[in-house]
Amino acid sequence: MCKTLPTLAAALTLVVCFAAHAEDVDPSVSRMRSVIDQYAEDRTTLRLTYAIPTSTARDDRLRSFYEQRLASLEAVDFDKLDQSGKVDYLLLRNDLRYALKQLAHSRRQVDEVASLLPFAGAVIDLEQARRRVETVDPEKCARTLTDITKQVAELRKSLEQKLRSGESGRKDLPSPVLANRAAGLVDELRDSLRRWNGFYSGYDPEFSWWARQPYPIADQELADYAIFLRRRLAGYDEPQPQGETAARVPGDGEPQQGEDGSDQPGPAGEWHAHQSHALAAQVHRSGDEVDRPHQRGAAEYRDTGYP
Q: What angle do CA 171, 175, 176 make, to 5 degrees?
A: 135
Q: Can you give the pLDDT at residue 171?
A: 83
Q: Can you give the pLDDT at residue 49?
A: 86
Q: Can you give the pLDDT at residue 28?
A: 55
Q: Can you give the pLDDT at residue 97?
A: 96
Which residues of the chain are under the pLDDT cut of 70?
A: 1-30, 168-169, 238-307
Q: Can you give the pLDDT at residue 240?
A: 55
Look up the pTM and report it: 0.67
Q: Can you give the pLDDT at residue 73?
A: 93
Distances in Å between the Cα of 239 and the Cα atoms of 22, 104, 211, 230, 290 are 56, 31, 29, 8, 22
Q: Can you give the pLDDT at residue 31?
A: 74
Burial (CB count <10 Å: 0-12, 13-18, 19+), residue 267: middle
Burial (CB count <10 Å: 0-12, 13-18, 19+), residue 2: exposed
List of residues 6+ apart from 222 with CB closer than 8 A: 148, 152, 186, 189, 190, 193
Q: Can you give the pLDDT at residue 239?
A: 56
Q: Can you give the pLDDT at residue 30?
A: 67
Give the up-direction half-sphere exposure of residue 12: CA atoms within 13 A in the CB hemisphere: 6
